[in-house]
Amino acid sequence: MTPQIVTFPSVLFNEMTAALDGALAATVDADVRARIVAARRLVASASATTAEAATGGLAPWQIAKVRAHVARNIERGLPNDELAALTRLSTSYFCKAFRASFGETPQKFVLSCRVEQACTLMLETLDTLADIAYACGFTDQAHLGRQFRRAMGTSPHVWRRHFAQDRAEGLLA
């Protein structure tokens, strides 16, 4: 195997991530931003199964364990050493391997999962934004608002209202 074959997935991943990040920065529409965030997550998860995983990334079983643990414990703090213990790696090596697999730090991944969970709860429940914030592990509604705005380009209230109107008009199933 030549070095070019081994590094091609990481080059492709970096280019796709940069393109999606550029599109995310340039997009104002909340629906489009949500789709770009989902696409970026898909690209990151696909990169974990490429040659990059064999050259310093997490193994598939480690990725599955971390994802399941984050999903089950989204409402509380998830320190890197706790996630590292799941994978039987030191914290420093885990952080390096996680970044190689996902293209982002473990804490940034947890934050993205929290924003994603907040979106789901805003669509599926009538809970207040404060209740949703606590259920997703944010310290308060303002914390949710700051992180949501950073990720989605709009406030949670505006995003929820936009999708509630779409649902009322029959645009969402």
Q: Which residues of 131-148 are buried (b: 16+ CB within 10 A; e: fewer)?
A: ebbbbbbbeebeebbebb
Q: What is the pLDDT of residue 52?
A: 44
The token duo for 6 is 């081994």
The CATH class given to the 3-168 domain equals mainly alpha
Q: What is the dihedral angle through the alpha carbons of 68, 74, 78, 82, rounded to the nearest 10 degrees? A: -30
Query: Among candidates 164, 128, 158, 166, which has minimal Cα distance to 30?
Result: 158
pLDDT given at position 51: 43
In tens, the pLDDT along 72-108 reads 999 999 999 999 999 999 999 999 999 999 999 999 9
- Cα three-residue angle 162-166-167, rounded to 5 degrees: 115
Q: Please return the burial class of 86, using the count of CB atoms within 10 Å of its CB with bins 0-12, 13-18 and 19+.
A: middle
Task: Give me the residue spans of the domains in the chain.
Answer: 3-168
Report pLDDT for 27: 66
Q: Which residues of the chain have pLDDT under 70?
A: 1-18, 20-30, 42-55, 167-168, 170-173
The first and second tokens of residue 41, run together, are 């997550």
Predicted local distance difference test score (pLDDT) of residue 38: 72
Give the pLDDT of residue 35.
72
Quote the pLDDT of residue 45. Answer: 62
Q: Could you tell me the pTM of the whole model?
A: 0.68
